């Protein structure tokens, strides 16, 4: 794999945060039977996601210490939607393989259909959030999200997310999210929860 990781610590934080998430474990398993090769591919995927959000969405990395990161998608023009989709296809196909790209598309298409029927089109999407292990348990998680939520509150737009990890729901409840629905994703054969947070009045 010929990919330079620009944020190795943050990519590792995201990888560890999602190590039990069925979406990401399924992607990783589709890359290679060699676990180290598959892990390196996933670290590259996490790094790419950070860079993608910096260009097309919203990315929050604490200034004082890079203890974690949150990655957000925002509504895009049709032109930028097509561009991000093509760039993601090129990245995954080159660095993770066509099989992984097909897996990614199958899962993503199913989840997109479900969310688009229930979520307002101007909503922002909390795609990924992770904290480095040495900083976990210190109450720092909300700090990765709250400044972006302040921005969406000012804009008057809702945000949403999807999680395959049941225990994460409690964290999101504290931030004002509510479960909208749950589904069984057919590729992973796992249940995930669609959660949304309405904008708070300023």
42, part of any domain: yes
How many domains is the chain partitioned into structurally? 1
Provide the residue range defining the domain that includes 24. Answer: 8-197
Sheet holding 178-185: strands in order across? 58-60, 68-73, 124-131, 159-163, 190-197, 178-185
202, part of any domain: no
Give the rounded distance of the alpha carbon of 16 from its chain centre: 13
2, part of any domain: no
1, part of any domain: no
Residue 48's CATH number:
3.40.630.30
3, part of any domain: no
- Tell me the pLDDT of the chain (202 aa) as tens digits: 789 999 999 999 999 989 999 999 999 999 999 999 999 999 999 999 999 999 999 999 998 778 899 999 999 999 999 999 999 999 999 999 999 999 999 999 999 999 999 999 999 999 999 988 888 888 888 999 999 999 999 999 999 999 999 999 999 999 999 999 999 999 999 999 999 999 998 7
19, part of any domain: yes
């Amino acid at each position: 794999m010929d990919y330079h990781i620009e944020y190795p610590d943050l990519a590792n934080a995201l990888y560890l945060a999602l190590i039990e998430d069925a979406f990401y474990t399924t992607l990783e398993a589709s890359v290679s039977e060699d676990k180290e090769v598959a892990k390196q591919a996933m670290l590259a995927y996490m790094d790419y996601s950070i860079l993608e959000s910096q260009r097309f969405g919203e990315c929050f990395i604490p200034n004082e210490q890079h203890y974690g990161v949150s990655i957000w998608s925002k509504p895009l023009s049709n032109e930028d939607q097509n561009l991000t989709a093509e760039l993601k296809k090129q990245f995954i196909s080159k660095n993770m393989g066509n099989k992984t790209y097909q897996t990614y598309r199958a899962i993503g298409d199913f989840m997109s259909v479900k969310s688009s029927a229930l979520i307002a089109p101007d909503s922002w999407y909390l795609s990924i959030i992770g904290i480095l292990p040495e900083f976990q348990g210190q109450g720092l998680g909300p700090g990765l999200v709250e400044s972006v939520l302040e921005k969406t509150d000012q804009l008057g737009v809702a945000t949403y997310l999807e999680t395959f990890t049941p225990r994460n729901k409690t964290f999101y409840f504290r931030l004002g999210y509510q479960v909208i629905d749950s589904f069984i994703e057919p590729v992973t054969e796992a249940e995930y929860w669609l959660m949304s947070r309405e904008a708070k009045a300023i």
